[in-house]
Amino acid sequence: MRLAAVNRAALALGLAPGLSLADARAREPMLGIADDDAGADARLLERIADGCDRYTPMVALDPPDGLILDISGCAHLFGGEAALQDDLVGRLGRLGMTVRSALADTPDAAHALARYDKSFQPSPEGEALMHLPVEALELDGEETTALRRAGLKRLADLEARPSQVLAARFGEAAGDKLRRIAGGRDVRITARRPQPALMLERRFAEPIGRTEAALAAIGELAAQAARRMEKAHQGGRRFEAQLFRTDGLVRALRIETGLPVRDVAVVMRLFDERLAALSDPVDPGFGFDLVRLSVPAFEALAPLQLPLEGGAVAEGELAQLLDRLSTRLGRNRVRRLAPQDSHIPEQAAFAFPAIEPAPPGQWPEAEAGEPPLRPTHIFDPPQLIDVLAGVPDGPPQRFRWRRELHEVTLAEGPERIGALWWRRADNAGLSRDYYRVEDRKGRRFWLFRLGLYGREAKAPAWYIHGLFA
């Protein structure tokens, strides 16, 4: 085992990443260690990125340990670029983090400055870049060594030479990276979230300590949003409220509706439902100092026409009910059924969230005069039962299900349903023989035998797959 990372105190003792744990312990028996957990690191980075949403909506991850913020057009809100940088470093510093930050014209330049600028002296950006070591190009170890052997130690040395020569000797990547760092070639960052169609926020001079108060502020933002959307004849199907805590933690509440809405009362009611349904309640900590409401996308929604004779519009009540239930219970618990083109019974229908538009499809017609051939309730997966039946393909005579013995009086079958053999390399798969049976007490069941006796299975197992009314 080796050290993956060390803190400042360990560095002062002469320990460094890459040292084996045994050696490190030999040097410093009291060394405190923790397992390296890349997943936890990534989650922490995500959380910090969430917190940095307060500065700009354009935040990109720079794994494993960096963040890139595009602060174009945002800096004035914090009193300038330097003030924004100070605020960010100070905020993270209060959480016990060591931050190296840099401001630059392009993301790659900022990346290089933050990581390889050893001087820590404030200097004009261009000059600082020229003083960076060639390691800042982040080329392969071999190429970096080759550059150093050639006497090219700083970016300034490379910049002075024609780029063709550089590309011929050290590859296209070196020249490209150099232009991105020092040549002002601007590569856009990909923000973690797509830009919402509408985003409103409110900052508080003093943090507010109650979630209800924060939600009330969200309500005011929702009213603003509703006015803006009404003017544009637009509505939203998804809304997101973000509550920024002073200590950098962000809680997001998301709601979704089946039809576009903009009515404040409807939106806020769903947020209340969402808040009440959270498994871990929102903890205000030392208070929220920023709340934000965003609408990811607009959808057309005509202005509402109230009926002349007075009274409310009743049409949307079902949609509102489904929205409310979906928000409270989860979208997968409120569902509709849709047909699917498959002869495998359990795949012939599927459930989809009721707030989503219905997928196309036609239910098969029932054949007139026939009794129901498919059960109303189905077990997924089918349940194993003990069956007494004639071999090779006689109908069941009696079976035991849930410790109860059922005497079969009427039976119809088999309805043979083949497996999806064409999906398999060996063209195999067990056929199922389905029987509709009725027991002495009049209960109707749907049973099947898995595998054909003697051909596909030695002693085929029986399953119960559904119940008829």
Positions that interact with other proteins (CB under 8 A): 314-315, 317-318, 321-322, 324-325, 328-329, 333-339, 345, 348-349, 351, 354, 358, 363-366, 368-369, 371-380, 404, 409-412, 436-438, 440-444, 466-469
CB of 435 to other proteins, least distance (A): 10
Q: 453 pairs with which residues across the strands?
A: 457
CB of 254 to other proteins, least distance (A): 20
CB of 403 to other proteins, least distance (A): 12
CB of 426 to other proteins, least distance (A): 30
- Rounded-to-integer distance, Cα 261 and Cα 265, Å: 10
Which residue has tokens 């300034």? 156
* Count of CA atoms in the C-beta half-sphere (13 A) of 88: 27
* Cβ distance to other proteins smaller for residue 32 or 364: 364
Q: Which residues are CB-contacts of 131 (< 8 A; sequence separation ≥ 6)?
A: 117, 119, 123, 154, 155, 156
Q: Tell me the three state secondary structure of residue 321.
A: helix
* Cβ distance to other proteins smaller for residue 80 or 359: 359
* Cβ distance to other proteins smaller for residue 55 or 448: 448
- Rounded-to-integer distance, Cα 40 and Cα 410, Å: 60
Q: Which residues of 348-373 are buried (b: 16+ CB within 10 A; e: fewer)?
A: eeeeebbbeeeeeeeeeeeeeeeeee
CB of 468 to other proteins, least distance (A): 7
Contact criterion met (CB below 8 Å) for 463 and 448: yes
- Rounded-to-integer distance, Cα 166 and Cα 159, Å: 10
Contact criterion met (CB below 8 Å) for 292 and 201: yes
* Cβ distance to other proteins smaller for residue 254 or 335: 335
CB of 409 to other proteins, least distance (A): 7
Instruction: For strands 377-389 and 234-245, give the pairing.
Output: unpaired
Residue 439 Ramachandran class (φ > 0 left, ψ -120 to 50 alpha, else beta): beta
Helix (H) or strand (E) holding 301: none
Instruction: For strands 396-401 and 461-467, give the pairing.
Output: unpaired
* Cβ distance to other proteins smaller for residue 227 or 377: 377
Q: Which residues are CB-contacts of 311 (< 8 A; sequence separation ≥ 6)?
A: none
CB of 113 to other proteins, least distance (A): 52
* Cβ distance to other proteins smaller for residue 52 or 355: 355
CB of 350 to other proteins, least distance (A): 8
* Cβ distance to other proteins smaller for residue 460 or 466: 466
* Cβ distance to other proteins smaller for residue 60 or 349: 349
* Cβ distance to other proteins smaller for residue 160 or 366: 366
CB of 315 to other proteins, least distance (A): 8
CB of 76 to other proteins, least distance (A): 47
Residue of 188, 177, 122 whose CA lies nearest to 155: 177
Query: Long-range contacts made by residues 246-249, C-beta under 8 angstroms, separation at least 24?
Result: 246/207, 246/285, 246/286, 246/287, 246/288, 246/289, 247/94, 247/95, 247/285, 247/286, 248/47, 248/48, 248/51, 248/91, 248/92, 248/95, 249/47, 249/50, 249/51, 249/285
* Cβ distance to other proteins smaller for residue 370 or 426: 370
Structural tokens at position 98? 């060591």
- Rounded-to-integer distance, Cα 352 and Cα 334, Å: 8
CB of 322 to other proteins, least distance (A): 7
Q: Tell me the three state secondary structure of residue 39.
A: helix
* Cβ distance to other proteins smaller for residue 206 or 380: 380
